[in-house]
Amino acid sequence: MRIITDFHLHSRYSRACSKELTIKNIAKMCERKGIQFVGTSDFTHPAWREEIGRELEPIDGGAFQLKDQSSSTRFLLSTEISCIYKRHGKTRRVHHIILFSHLAGVDHLIASLQARGCNLKSDGRPIIGLDSEELLKHVLEADPMGLLIPAHAWTPWFAVFGSQSGFDSLEECFGEMTKYIPAIETGLSSDPKMNWRLKQLDSIFLVSNSDAHSLDNLGREANVFEMPEPGYQELRRILVERDRTKFIETIEFFPEEGKYHVDGHRVCRFWCEPAQTKKLKGICPKCGKPLVVGVLNRVDRLADRPLDEQPKDATPYRSIVPLAELIGGAMGVGKASKTVKAEMDRILSDGRSEFGVLLDLPESELTRITTPEIVESICRMRAGEIQIRPGYDGEYGVVSLREDEGTKRKEQQASLF
Ligand SMILES: [Zn+2]
Ligand SMILES: [Zn+2]
């Protein structure tokens, strides 16, 4: 059975997150999106830990279900922890996704972090002073079946390979514990193809998750596994044993759409490709301050394989644009508008899910349920025929369909984007 999984997201107890992020709402939204297996997120936060215990119960295989059985969505225990520490004379900021097999392990980790003086109460994604290697030791001590995966590995300010406060290799960050790292998360600003350029990543998996701060963003990136049913034990086995036959594909943002794809300076509204940054000697031509080096540039610096070469046995991926954006673009209205919502509801009736519509539904079937403009948008997305103004220095990229016919619809898109 094909299981779509998203295990990096947040609860309403994380900073800048929607108040609607409750366990029940997440379960319901996952059904609409077509996600069968989703992370609880934020399990070290006391109030959210309490909600997890109140709403969910364990079932076989290390998955959790709603106690009232009102949803088919299955959960796995997940959180994100941000570490800030000094190593080799530099301040490091690295975010980590942590997955656990049982609640007793979660409580063990909470107790051991609190004993080290970590503040877990003020944020669902806590910031702690442990280094990454030490955190991994705490994780495995609390649950030997636990996993730690570096989150959005290329984000300039908060990641293992980040240009501003990261490292050049996993070994530099995790030392002797590196062998316990089964994967890195590529993040929105990079896709697998970019990561294939680093030979040091050939021996691990590349995973993708939404890092959603609102219900609508759930599943904007995801992992597709072949599993008999959603289960943490099997997910862990696939990752740890590098079972390529069961890790079918990842579903990706177009990386240009991510917030840190190219180099730039947001306050000056200036961005450029890595070659231009080199010519500018890394300095913003508008204000004279250093440019924030994006993911494309950073990957290029650490790469030891040419762009057009693909490693053996790489996991395939598909790139998507969220359905609301496609509909908004095709109809010439904002993606959060009532018009888009109404059309979404129409398209996603009769038990159809967003992933089903974006990835699987044949064109003939799409034509039956929605407008020709939306069908065309979906087909162009599937063919990769889109234009993007790339994201930089915390500013999301902007997607539009390829301009060709100069139709009225195109003009509407131009005004939208
Ligand atoms: Zn996050
Ligand atoms: Zn500037």
Q: Mind listing the pLDDT tens digit for each residue in 3-39?
A: 999 999 999 999 999 999 999 999 999 999 999 999 9
- Position 403 scores a pLDDT of 56
Write the CA distances from 68 to 15, 40, 41, 71, integer angstroms. 29, 17, 20, 8
pTM: 0.92
Secondary structure class of 96 (helix, strand, coil):
strand
- Position 416 scores a pLDDT of 37
Q: Which of 145, 146, 137, 122 is nearest to 42 (CA)?
A: 122
Arithmetic mean of pLDDT, 366-394: 94
pLDDT at 408 over 90: no
CA of 278 to the centre of ligand 2 (A): 15
pLDDT at 314 over 70: yes
> What is the DSSP-derived secondary structure letter of residue 348?
T
Residue 156, token pair as written in the block: 């300039």
Arithmetic mean of pLDDT, 263-271: 96
Q: What percent of the chain has pLDDT over 70?
A: 96
CA of 15 to the centre of ligand 1 (A): 10
Residues around ligand 1, an ion, CB closer than 5 A: 80, 211
Query: Confidence class of residue 406 from pLDDT cuts 50, 70 and 90?
Result: very low
pLDDT at 412 over 90: no
CA of 225 to the centre of ligand 1 (A): 22
2-257 placed in CATH 3.20.20.140: yes
CA of 285 to the centre of ligand 1 (A): 32
CA of 213 to the centre of ligand 1 (A): 8
- Position 17 scores a pLDDT of 95
Q: What is the pLDDT of residues 169-202, one digit of tens each?
A: 999 999 999 999 999 999 998 999 999 999 999 9
Q: In the predicted model, what is the mean pLDDT of the chain?
A: 93
CB neighbour list of residue 177: distance below 8 Å, 6 or more residues apart: 133, 136, 137
Lowest-confidence segment of 56-60, 171-175, 284-288, 408-412 by average pLDDT: 408-412
Q: Which of 47, 54, 18 is nearest to 121 (CA)?
A: 47
Pick the ligand that lies closest to the CA of residue 9: 1
Arithmetic mean of pLDDT, 146-168: 94
CA of 281 to the centre of ligand 2 (A): 13
Arithmetic mean of pLDDT, 284-301: 94
- Position 415 scores a pLDDT of 37
CA of 279 to the centre of ligand 2 (A): 15
CA of 269 to the centre of ligand 2 (A): 8
CA of 265 to the centre of ligand 2 (A): 5
- Position 162 scores a pLDDT of 93
Q: What percent of the chain has pLDDT over 90?
A: 89
Secondary structure class of 342 (helix, strand, coil):
helix
- Position 307 scores a pLDDT of 84
Arithmetic mean of pLDDT, 229-241: 98
Arithmetic mean of pLDDT, 198-223: 96
